[in-house]
Amino acid sequence: MPMEKQLIHRVLQGESAAFRDLVEQNQEKIYYLSLDLTGNHHDAEDLSQEVFIKAYRNLDQFRGESSFSSWLYKIAVNTNINRNRKKMTAVLKRSTSIEHAGDSWKSLSPDTNPEKQTDASLLRTHIDTALDRLSRNERCVFVLKHYQEFPLQEIALIMDVSVGTVKSTLFRAVRKMRKELASCRGKGEGEPR
């Protein structure tokens, strides 16, 4: 994007107000990625803010080999991994949060039928629970591929791993998700509606 390169150049020349335009162009994408990675609004807002602060401070390190948004995604993924490492040392098991279910998923059921809305909400809850059971890397790869729709090569660049590693991590993540969702479905069968 020529406009993006111009904005980056202006920021590097000392025009910090131009960074606001870069943030506005990317804030929604980074927020929703952060929401998918963290599982709740509060942490997603914190992570998004941290991503843009790091991007501003390290803009001179952006080489332009990928798009600016891909660079931001890489910062988001790495920052989230580092935050989780810190949390893991303080807390052995983090609490699960599904409060983002309604916003993270683009309405699975536009139907106003209460039963269908309940079913969609239950499905989102099961998916969020299954996502919480993935490792950090599995969750990152799954989210980047299935929520953000990045190609495998781009995910490899973002996560700084080989495409083969992305493929095997994605395979494990999908297998775990299927297993978890099948067990959730099995628990719900036979229950009265």
Specify the pTM. Answer: 0.62
The structural domains of the chain, ordered by start, are: 1-95 (1.10.1740.10), 100-193 (1.10.10.10)
Average pLDDT over residues 7-35: 92
128 neighbors 155 (Cβ within 8 angstroms): no
- The answer on pLDDT for 42 being more than 90 is yes
Confidence of residue 106 (pLDDT cuts 50, 70, 90): very low
Looking at every residue in the chain, the average pLDDT score rounds to: 79
